Chain A
Amino acid sequence: MSGGEIVSHHVMPSGGNYKLTAEEVVKKALGKAKLSLKDIDYIVATGYGASNATSANEVFSDLSCQGRGVSYLFPSARMVIDIGGQFTRVFRVKEKGKVTAFLQSEKCAAGSGRFLQVIAKVLQIDLKDIGELSLKSKNKVDFNTGCAVFAESEAISRVAEGALKEDILAGLHRTLAAKIQSMVERVGLKPDCAVVGGGAKDIGLVRSIEQSLASKLLVPEEPQIVAALGAALLAEEKAVPSRSVTNLKGG
């Protein structure tokens, strides 16, 4: 970022080697911006593997970054649903992205993106096609279970019985949305509500959650970079007032 605007961004799978991935993703983003590492004033790392980003000056919690990023994109947002690959989080934000109430579903794959990954594999479709396909559904399949593992076998049975992929997907979206809805209710719904993370790229899931909550959701153009965006905003705050930080190799 520079002067409050995004210059470039890059998203890639974390893979098994976080350190290598962290180096690679920074390189790619710098390449797109036609910059080198020494042009960057301050780097903030965040997320599950933040400690592996050796070029970072500082590490911030992903929650703070997520909150900051959402507030930048949607100043009116007071609630955020973050549907990640391994867990879902629901939290409230005040002005400037300060996070207040917070709930996370890390114990169980049921409410997370992992649920959809499992099902995409069963149905042999690309994760990114799930959303559009599910919108074609006219007859949602009812699922008896919220468990990702049991849903997988249930989906297999439904396929064997001849159910359409879109109907299965729409049914699963409804199951997932119900789980997320219960999390939102525990924190207390407070519009405007934004949805971020990989799950927000699934239009079928977003519509399903909107239906469960009876509330419109704000969806960023690029939902996966919100935490990174927040990290960059926090980095800018750190770097711009003082201009004193130059030790890019530190951390």
Chain B
Amino acid sequence: MEAVMLVEQVGALGHPVLRQRFTGAGTECRVGQDIDCDVVVDDEHVAPQHALLTLLEDGRVRVQDLGTRNGTRVAGKRVTPEGAIIEQGEIIVGHTRLYVRTRHVPPGQERVYRREFVRTHRTWLTVAGVAACIAYAGFRQWLNAPSSLPRSVTTAALVTLGVLALWTGLWALMSKLNRGRWEVRVHLAIASIGVAVCVWGSWVGGLVAYAAQWSVLAKVGVGVIGAITLVALYLHLREATRYDRRIALAIAGAATILISAVAWVIAIGVDDNDVNRVDLGPDVRLGAERIVPNRDIAEYLAEVDRLKRAAGRERQMSLLNSPLADAGD
């Protein structure tokens, strides 16, 4: 089969701006600023005659630098005078990126095109998500029983819309730059649904925590919010960039871990050293159903008895963290 190489010049945003096909063993492709080159590059850091690509008998490509001062890089490494032999990969001359492909690397299988759920239902999801966010903002205001309910609800709704708009706007801009489309509804749907699930979930979670007297639910809730953040960031990245699944997941995961770490450090700074912090348990919900039976006083006092050891442990930790000024013994 005849040897073939495709040489692509990659634009600033990562898209190919030029693609040329060379066939036949021994075919050469010169790269440089010179008008006689096969691939002419408008880059002041590139020599008139900069690099030479030669298609070999076996279908691979030899890359040679033509004695330039800036050199030529293949897979990040500077090409030696003997040249490098590649099957495919990125070649950098000056500030310009080229991409070379040969028959040695077959294309991937055809992937069945699936319209994603978010994209398909973006309008309805956006309406539902934004409505749920604004409803929660209004509900919180109503819970506080403010003196002027319409004013508080309007303010809260506007603030919510403003935050959502800012967040969506940033992601939409990334989409436009990377993929050429704004995708406002998709990003707004992801953001608003994520926020709505977190805020309403935590309210319902509080109700469940009280009904079941399950204090652990607060910690579970933090985990769930972390997971929702991860999913939302992943979906945003997939929509706004050309990263593949693994890279998008890695970036979203790293961002989630970073956000959690910052939140954790702040929480520790505020809470853990506070000797006056009392944990009263799940908030009281007057009139709400409870699914756990009540204890009697004796039972409760027996449980309080165990606090002596717990308090002792807290003291040991406290002494380890900051020893007494004058231990004396």
A binds B: no
